[in-house]
Amino acid sequence: MAEPPRAPKVLVIGHRGACALRPEHTLASYAKAIADGADVVEPDLVPTRDGVLVARHECNIAGTTDVAARPEFAARRTTRTIDGVSETGWFTLDFTLAELKTLWCRERLPQVRPQNMRYDGLFQIPTLDEIIDFVAAESTARGRPIGLIPELKSTPFLRAAGLPTEDRFLATIERRRSCFEGSLEIQCFYGDSLRLLRDRLGRGHSNIRLMQLLDEPATRFPAGSGNGAHTGFASMMTPSGLAEIATYAEMIGPAKTAIIPLGPDRRMRAPTALVHDAHQAGLLVRPFTFRPENHFLPAECQDGAGDGTRNQAGSIQEIRRHLQAGIDGFFTDDPAIGRLAVDGA
């Protein structure tokens, strides 16, 4: 028997906007997501050197901007260890907002999404304030509430670097609270950041909710992860771990394979107990990330038309398998397909 969703409405969340169709985390990507029917759009947030929150999937902007081609910033290239991984590139915390605004966004996955490269060099990195303004304007123009679900990235690293993202984020949303017509849901992989937000926000704001992100069950945490006694995501997905999450958050955002695993043949297996157990703990479940290209689809959903081909039917098939498992919403790179999957076309 299928698990029913706990939410009254299953939300289609534009992951980084509609990044299957536009370069991620640009106003153009958010605009496409909204036009294609997303209920909510997702900006990932990282700070500049002068403490302004901007939308990038990670602090390292080597792959999503033209910074590598800018000789004036060549000396900023460095190596940092973030979330337990050493990486070399250019990092937002080494740039002021004014400097970042001289850069131009680029497609992050040119091998899979070469059609998006025609937008390279057209869009700047948006700030959180600019995104709030844009979504509020879109909500008004379209006559429907559009929610925001920002993710606070790499919070232990940024706190140690003297740029505590939580403080800057809370100050912004308090200052801009009147702009939120839709829901505001805040997500993070780090439980201590969510607990801090819960302590500061309380539970009195009916339209502000928190989401504990959960990566693949086998993923273990780096030292200083901020997830308490847990050493990896598997223990957070147990009934006791979910009950603990429910003390500070209203929902979880697990990797989709934590709900429907893939076998060695990359075909979907039977659903796990995660959605049921989370619902029993009082938590909504909104998995990530559904991507429309054959490259990302389970074997039985692929159509043989090429690795980078947008496969609408296969993507709908995959999403609907997860809808049958009782999810309450989902992150998708292609909200138009997500809308079709939910609405039954």
- Inform me whether the pLDDT recorded for 204 exceeds 60: no
pTM assigned to the model: 0.95
213 backbone dihedrals φ, ψ, rounded to 5°: -80, 145
**What is the Cα gyration radius of the chain?**
19
pLDDT tens digits, one per residue of 256-278? 999 999 999 999 999 999 999 99
Judged on CB neighbours under 10 Å (0-12, 13-18, 19+), 161 is middle
> SS3 for 92?
helix
pLDDT band per the 50, 70, 90 thresholds, residue 71: very high
Walk me through the domains of the chain, giving residue ranges and CATH numbers.
Answer: 11-58+123-343 (3.20.20.190)
Q: For the chain, give the percent of residues with pLDDT over 90.
A: 85
Average pLDDT over residues 61-70: 98
Average pLDDT over residues 123-150: 96
- Inform me whether the pLDDT recorded for 289 exceeds 60: yes
pLDDT band per the 50, 70, 90 thresholds, residue 179: confident
Helices and strands, counts by H and E, the chain: 11, 13
pLDDT tens digits, one per residue of 211-254? 999 999 888 877 667 777 788 899 999 999 999 999 999 999 99
- Inform me whether the pLDDT recorded for 30 exceeds 80: yes
Q: What is the mean pLDDT of the chain?
A: 94
> SS3 for 319?
helix
| Predicted local distance difference test score (pLDDT) of residue 224 | 63
Range with the lowest mean pLDDT among 68-72, 172-176, 245-249? 172-176
Q: Cα–Cα distances in Å, from 294 out to 19, 175, 290, 308, 315?
A: 15, 43, 11, 6, 8
pLDDT band per the 50, 70, 90 thresholds, residue 182: confident
CA dihedral 119, 123, 129, 132 (to 10 degrees): -30
- Inform me whether the pLDDT recorded for 324 exceeds 80: yes
pLDDT tens digits, one per residue of 80-110? 999 889 999 999 999 999 999 999 999 999 9
- Inform me whether the pLDDT recorded for 7 exceeds 90: no
Q: Which residues contact 245 (CB under 8 A, 6 or more apart)?
A: 191, 212, 236, 252, 281, 283
- Inform me whether the pLDDT recorded for 1 exceeds 60: no
| Predicted local distance difference test score (pLDDT) of residue 228 | 76
Is residue 93 a contact partner of residue 49, using CB atoms and an 8 Å limit? Answer: yes
